[in-house]
Structure 1
């Protein structure tokens, strides 16, 4: 992967970046004594996420295919590391503090439960009566409450106690459920970034921020996430034999990709531009005609993914610089500009993975069994109280004020599990289902 996307990246002035952030941006929810003066506040943020147990658990959580699928497939952890690399370089090129962007990228999937988006939808059903479940809102909850690192003098957990700038950068959807931006058709996105009982810290981190607007660092994180999984999910699918490169060149298959993109993502790009994006990608010299699994082809596909990442980041950097000039861009001084043609290319790659990997998977028996595991675990844990909860969650349950709060604790516990531990817990506790019900 290229280390710099342009000369602007090499010319970015680190002191200039530092001056673009204020003491208020470096403030923490709970004031801590000064520590090693050789490390910046944002370097400490990144270290806290990097050493967190929540990040380690992503190593056994599904990205697109389960961690046990094969030795090549990406997990949530490897995906997050790749997002961080992309985001750090793009953010640095624009003048953002690279540690703020890195922290946001490493954090962006911390709240995902076992079994990927399938597990997310299952827990959303479990929590329907208490505000639902959303991986991004769970991320904020982990960073500010659940991940053990910092406590107030009164013993209240404040999570990793990151700076305001890093927390804001990690907030992909800065609104509560149902309060997102209104689309032209009058609907709002189902995505949201905060549960009702986490609104106090959310209000603090968003002080002075424009309503529902993401800071530039969060926008860089979001684009880096899209770029990484659009490119790498296709790479995984090709290497795993799920995408036939010759087949993708057929007009009928390209029409299916466009239809899948429209059904799943519905981007603000006309279908003919999506089709043109496929044509452009297939015409690139780096686009492989076939894949045979040889070491040479493994190297070629790695080069293809690297060049695509550079292509997408370079286009966004150039368009943003054209709009805002050459100085350091941080926080709310600018918005990331992604050219429509680049957006179309990214989303059609997502469409390829969706058509050949993700959509077929939803009808597999395994998909339903994963949901059943999470439903069963939530039922048993809710009915048996603290008996089977891990110690931190057992303490949360004892402190819970009502049934809604107790259910949220159970959801927190289930969401913390990995794919592997969810299976293990279910095998251990499923005998209790008949006793409970």
Structure 2
């Protein structure tokens, strides 16, 4: 790892873990943030991401991204930017790898179904569910529930998009146990992890959309900044067939965005006179991110993607079916808890809101494939939503 800058998070200065741990030399010479990263990688919830929706619900093709491959790509981008800025690469990587763990099956469609089911009980939020999963539902250790992650790791997951004025019930529970200073800004590592997520899915969703035939190059070239970059690539590789050049466009876009973040973030650090991690938290603004010019282009790209990919009729039909399945399963488990596996059924609380939240925990952990199979077992074959 490169030398840490004075504003980077240092594991030697960590605010610690909820449960005190004695060092075990048999576990290898790793610092606290490296241990956090490794605990994420070895967790059951991380492994389940290989069968959770990224863009396409339960994709048939082997080449489409899923939550797991997306998280790995975010980690690569985040780690590279962290190294260039002199930040802690291990903490950045851990945050990138963990950021989507709370997503239920079928992506945002599944989240919408759980939000409706828990509306009168505080609702459902995938970001808070990530923290709930890692602090309560994962149980690999004999003396406590959760992975017992560092304060900096939990803070970064809770606040990667900025201060939290009104935490949801799930986040409030964790904050009550381990005050995460929700009113302040997150570490630079968390800010870089958040923007790495944007860079990854902005560009890789285009790649998957093209592969699926839901997007065309002509549509993309309606965006002036994409058209400009494409022409530069065509000029650079004038002797290469154009059908070989599209991956170069994706790489160029990622590089342009990442370089913009590096230049903009370093300028803000210098302008604000940031000298410590606490300076970052008290800066009163997000430091890590795009320039205003790149942010405007990125917003235009997102608008394009919602119109042409995320809200494509084939996508909305699959999303409606996914939402329907999750909603059906919520109702089934409320009426017949014995339909859940024995360990989940036996642990079901008797009173609300804990009862429905327990059912939501079970459902949120499902993969797309597992949810489909459970739905088929209970309801039989179902005609896909149109």
Per the TM superposition, whether the score is higher than 0.5 is: yes
Secondary structure (helix, strand or coil) at the match of 1:170 reads helix
Deviations 1:330-371 (A, max 9, x none): 744332142011112223222332222111247744332222
Q: Compared with structure 1, are the counterparts of its residues 118 and 83 closer, same or farther at alpha carbon in structure 2 (3 Å cutoff)?
A: same
1:238 is matched with which residue: 204, 210, 227? 210
C-alpha distance in 1 between matches for 2:38 and 2:202: 27
Question: 5 Å matches for 1:76-87?
Answer: 76-87=67-78
In the TM superposition, residue 281 of structure 1 has moved relative to its aligned partner by: 2.6
Question: 5 Å matches for 1:101-250?
Answer: 101-152=92-143, 156-157=144-145, 159-171=146-158, 172=160, 179-180=165-166, 195-196=168-169, 198-203=171-176, 205-207=178-180, 209=181, 211-249=183-221
Contact 1:42–1:163 (CA<8 Å) still a contact in 2? yes
In the TM superposition, residue 195 of structure 1 has moved relative to its aligned partner by: 3.7
In the TM superposition, residue 26 of structure 1 has moved relative to its aligned partner by: 5.0
1:378 is matched with which residue: 321, 330, 335? 330
Corresponding residue number in structure 2 for 1:408: 357
Contact 1:90–1:220 (CA<8 Å) still a contact in 2? yes
Q: Which 5+ residue runs of structure 1 have no aligned equivalent? A: 1-9, 181-193, 255-277, 290-294, 432-437
Q: Compared with structure 1, are the counterparts of its residues 325 and 198 closer, same or farther at alpha carbon in structure 2 (3 Å cutoff)?
A: closer
C-alpha distance in 1 between matches for 2:209 and 2:65: 11
User: Is 1:424 the counterpart of 2:373 in the alignment?
Assistant: yes
In the TM superposition, residue 288 of structure 1 has moved relative to its aligned partner by: 6.6
Deviations 1:306-335 (A, max 9, x none): 221121111111112122239997744332
Contact 2:156–2:190 (CA<8 Å) still a contact in 1? yes
C-alpha distance in 1 between matches for 2:79 and 2:373: 36
Corresponding residue number in structure 2 for 1:100: 91
Question: 5 Å matches for 1:311-390?
Answer: 311-325=256-270, 331-334=277-280, 335-361=287-313, 364-385=316-337, 387-390=338-341
Contact 1:56–1:77 (CA<8 Å) still a contact in 2? yes
C-alpha distance in 1 between matches for 2:72 and 2:350: 38
Secondary structure (helix, strand or coil) at the match of 1:422 reads helix
Secondary structure (helix, strand or coil) at the match of 1:403 reads coil
TM-score normalized with structure 1 length? 0.76
Contact 1:94–1:329 (CA<8 Å) still a contact in 2? no
TM-score normalized with structure 2 length? 0.85
Secondary structure (helix, strand or coil) at the match of 1:160 reads coil
Contact 2:11–2:33 (CA<8 Å) still a contact in 1? no
User: Is 1:43 the counterpart of 2:43 in the alignment?
Assistant: no
Contact 2:191–2:289 (CA<8 Å) still a contact in 1? no
Q: Compared with structure 1, are the counterparts of its residues 163 and 225 closer, same or farther at alpha carbon in structure 2 (3 Å cutoff)?
A: same
Secondary structure (helix, strand or coil) at the match of 1:150 reads coil
C-alpha distance in 1 between matches for 2:79 and 2:275: 14
Contact 1:18–1:97 (CA<8 Å) still a contact in 2? no
C-alpha distance in 2 between matches for 1:333 and 1:391: 49
C-alpha distance in 1 between matches for 2:290 and 2:161: 18
